[in-house]
Homo-oligomer: A and B are copies of this chain.
Amino acid sequence: MQHIEPSVEKRLAAEGIRLTGGRRQTIATLAAMGGPRTAAEIHSETGDSIPLSSLYRSLAVLTDAGILASHHGSDGVIRFELAEWFTGHHHHLVCVECGAVFDVIPTADQERRMARLVEEMAAGTGFAAAGHRFEIEGLCSKCR
């Protein structure tokens, strides 16, 4: 966690955003939990020390600043995790039973093949492709 703080601080400073205690704790908690987490999960993990309204606000600010990334899960709940410049580019395994999400890191070759698919499929649609999102749906080891 220590090693990410300087870069976070720098990035926030560049946008005139303060790294306050609550935000620091939010980031640290997410880093410790190590996967996409909901606001409620973060909230209870921190022992309710950050009010939900503040937590949501912090999550939005940090996501905006590119520190965090957010994903809307198939259960309609938003999950947050450290942005890819911390975690490395990755995709998700989603449990269709319990909604849990796990990270999976593609090899360079896999990612190259995926990028090619994006290119091919967006070609000739009038759509300016900016990124992609690849989720593998199935049952996690607990639910299967």
A102 touches B127 (CB 8 A): yes
The chain B residue with its CB closest to the CB of A140 is B127
A-B contact pairs, 7 of them (CB 8 A): A72-B74, A76-B76, A91-B121, A96-B130, A102-B127, A126-B140, A133-B134
Roughly how many angstroms separate A93 CA and B133 CA in the complex, as a whole number? 10
A130 touches B138 (CB 8 A): yes
Query: Contact partner of A134 among B76, B104, B132, CB < 8 A?
Result: B132
Count identical subunits in the complex.
Answer: 2
Query: Contact partner of A129 among B72, B117, B126, B137, CB < 8 A?
Result: B137
Query: Contact partner of A93 among B78, B122, B140, CB < 8 A?
Result: B122
Q: How big is the A interface, by class?
A: 35 or more
The minimal Cβ–Cβ distance linking A1 to chain B, given in whole angstroms, is: 25
Query: Contact partner of A132 among B74, B95, B135, CB < 8 A?
Result: B135
Q: A132-B135, A135-B132 are in contact. Are A141 and B120 (CB under 8 A)?
A: no
Any B CB within 8 A of the CB of A118: yes
A117 touches B110 (CB 8 A): yes
Give the top 3 A-B pairs by smallest Cβ distance, nearest first: A126-B141, A129-B138, A130-B138
